[in-house]
Structure 1
Amino acid sequence: MFSHRDLLPRVSAMATQLCDIGLIGLAVMGQNLVLNINDHGYKVCVFNRTISKVGDFLENEAKGTKVIGANSLEEFVSLLKEPKIVMLMVKAGNAVDSFIQSLIPLLSKDDIIIDGGNSEYTDTNRRCKDLAAKGIIFVGVGVSGGEEGARTGPSLMPGGNPESWYIKKYLMVASISYIT
Structure 2
Amino acid sequence: MTANQCDIGLIGLAVMGENLVLNMESKGFSVAVFNRTTEVTDKFAAGRGKGKNIQPTRTMEEFVGALKRPRKTMIMVKAGAPVDAVIGQLAPLLEEGDVIIDGGNSLFTDTQRRCKDLEGRGIHFVGCGVSGGEEGALKGPSLMPGGSRESWEMIAPIFRKIAAQVDGEPCCRYMGSDGAGHYVKMVHNG
TM-score (norm 2): 0.85
For residue 44 of structure 1, the aligned residue among 18, 21, 31 is 31
Distance 1:90 1:69 in 2: 17
For residue 42 of structure 2, the aligned residue among 55, 70, 74 is 55
For residue 125 of structure 1, the aligned residue among 103, 109, 112 is 112
CA RMSD of aligned residues (A): 1.1
Q: Name stretches of at least 5 consecutive residues in structure 1 with no aligned partner.
A: 1-13
Shift of 1:17: 6.0
Q: Secondary structure of the residue that 1:53 maps to in structure 2?
A: helix
Shift of 1:168: 3.3
Q: Which moved more, 1:14-23 or 1:139-148?
A: 14-23
The residue type paired with residue 40 of structure 1 is K
Q: Deviations along 1:110-139, whole A, 9 cap, x unmatched?
A: 000000012100000000111000000000
The residue type paired with residue 44 of structure 2 is F
Q: Secondary structure of the residue that 1:179 maps to in structure 2?
A: coil
4+ residue segments displaced more than 3 Å: none
Of all paired residues, the percent bearing the same amino acid is 54
Distance 2:13 2:85 in 1: 16
Q: Give the corresponding residue for 1:179.
A: 172
For the pair 1:109 / 2:102, whether they are aligned, the reply is no
TM-score (norm 1): 0.90
Q: Deviations along 1:10-30, whole A, 9 cap, x unmatched?
A: xxxx33661000000000000
Equivalent pairs, count: 167
Q: Give the corresponding residue for 2:81.
A: 94
CA contact (8 A) 1:15 1:68 kept: no
Q: Deviations along 1:47-82, whole A, 9 cap, x unmatched?
A: 001110011001111112110100100010001000
Q: Name stretches of at least 5 consecutive residues in structure 2 with no aligned partner.
A: 165-170, 174-190
Q: Give the corresponding residue for 1:163.
A: 150
Distance 2:135 2:29 in 1: 19
The residue type paired with residue 125 of structure 1 is Q
CA contact (8 A) 2:3 2:66 kept: no
Shift of 1:167: 2.4
